[in-house]
Amino acid sequence: MTWKEHLSKYFTNLVSVLTLVGVAFFGWNFWEDRQQEKADRLLLEERYAKLTDTRTEAVQLSATVAQLATLYKDQADLAKEVALAWKDLALERGERVKLKAETIVTVDPTVEKQPKADYTFLTPEGQQGYTLNELRIEGKDSPAIGYIMVKNDGEVYKKNYKFEVRVESVQLKDDLTGQIRIVSRAFLVPLEDGLAGNKRPDLKKWSGEKYPLKVTGGETVVDPQEPIITLSKVKGWVPWSMNFNAGFGLFGSKENGLDAKATVDTNLAGYGVSKRDLDWKFFHLGVNYSANGGLGFHLTPFSYRPLPSILTNTYVGPGVFVEPDLYGYYLGLNVGF
C-alpha cells in the first residue's frame, strides 16, 4: 500500500467521524438558535409595544433635571412638523429627521413682602424722589430680572434686565430596544447685576452665573424607521459552529486535470454575529463527488461570504482534496444551512 493510499484511508475515517459529529452538532445548534430567536423576539415585542404606545409624559427628577418620554411618529408627518417649526432651516428633500425634542420650563409666580424698598432716591432737599423694587425669579436669593420704579408724583416705570434662558440636553439610546431618552436641564443666566452692581453691595451678583430652573414637561418625537439593534448583532469568534454546507467546486490535479464536483461538508468554527450569520467559516471537512472522479474527501481551511446583504448564506473558499489514487486542489462555492 502506497503512502497516498494510507493517507486516503486514515483521512477518510477521520472525515467520516467528524462529519457524523458535525451533523449532530448542526441539529443541536439549530434547535438552540430557534429557542434563542424566540426568546429575543418575545423580549423585543414586549419592549417595543411599550415604546409604540403614544403618550406625552414628563417625570421631574429634580429641580433641574427631567426625563422626557419617547413618542413615535410617521417619518412624513415628523418631517412636516420640523419644517414648520424650523422655517429658517433648509431641509433637503428626502432627508431623514430622526428626532424632534421639546423642553418646557414653567416659572411659577412669586409674591414677596418687603419691609422697605430695595432702593430709595432722595432729592437734594432730602425728600423722597423715587423708590425702586427689583423683580426676582424666585425669592430674595434668586437673580433679579427687572425692576419697578415709583416716583413721588405717582408715575410708575418698569424695566426688564437682560438675561438668557439656556436649555442643555443629552440624548441617550438603548441599543437593545431602540428607545431614546432626552434628559434636559434649564438655567437662567443674567447678563447684568442691576442694583447689586453698585447700589446694593449686600446683594449677590448673578451676572454670567447659571441659576437652575425647573423643567416641568416636554415631548420627544422619534422616527419609527430608526432600526432596533439587538445585542446579538455583535460580531466575534464562534467556535464549534458546525453548519451543514452544500455546493460545488472546481477540482484540479496533475493526473486528471480539472473536474467539477458536488460537495457536502461541515465547518468547525467561524467569525460573525452567530452560528447562522457568519462572515468567515473555518476548517471545512467533507465529501465530494462527480461521475468522472467518483467519491473523494476535501479540507477547506476557510471560506468567505463576499455578498452578505444579497447572498446571505453563500461562501467561497479554496481547499485540498484526496481520493484513493490522487490528490489536488480546488476552489469551492457552497451554501450554508
At 91-132, the pLDDT tens digits run 554 567 778 888 888 888 888 788 888 888 887 777 778 899
Residues 213 and 274 in one domain: no
Q: Could you give the CA distance from residue 274 to residue 272 in angstroms, rounded to a whole number?
A: 6
pLDDT category, 286, cuts 50, 70, 90? very high
pLDDT of residue 159: 93
Looking up cell 472546481 gives: 250
What is the domain extent for residue 105? 84-222
Q: Which three cell numbers stand for residue 276?
A: 447562522
Q: Which three cell numbers stand for residue 266?
A: 461541515
- Of 168, 192, 222, at which residue does a domain stop? 222
Q: Would you say residue 215 lies in a domain?
A: yes
pLDDT of residue 55: 35
Residues 185 and 101 in one domain: yes
Q: Which three cell numbers stand for residue 36?
A: 434563542
pLDDT of residue 246: 94
pLDDT category, 276, cuts 50, 70, 90? confident
Within 10 A of 178 (CB to CB), how many other CB atoms are there?
Answer: 20
Torsion 277-280-286-290 (CA) sign: positive
User: In sequence order, which ranges of 52-96 are alpha helices (DSSP H)?
Assistant: 75-85
Residues 6+ apart with CB under 8 A from 66: 58, 59, 60, 103, 183, 184, 215, 216, 217, 218
Name the strand (E) or helix (H) holding 275. none
- Of 203, 222, 241, at which residue does a domain stop? 222
Give the closest residue to 290 by CA, choosing from 257, 261, 253.
261
Name the strand (E) or helix (H) holding 45. helix 3-51
Q: Could you give the CA distance from residue 5 to residue 323 in angstroms, rounded to a whole number?
A: 8
- Of 204, 222, 240, at which residue does a domain stop? 222
Number of H helices, E strands in the chain: 2, 19
More confident residue, 219 or 186: 186
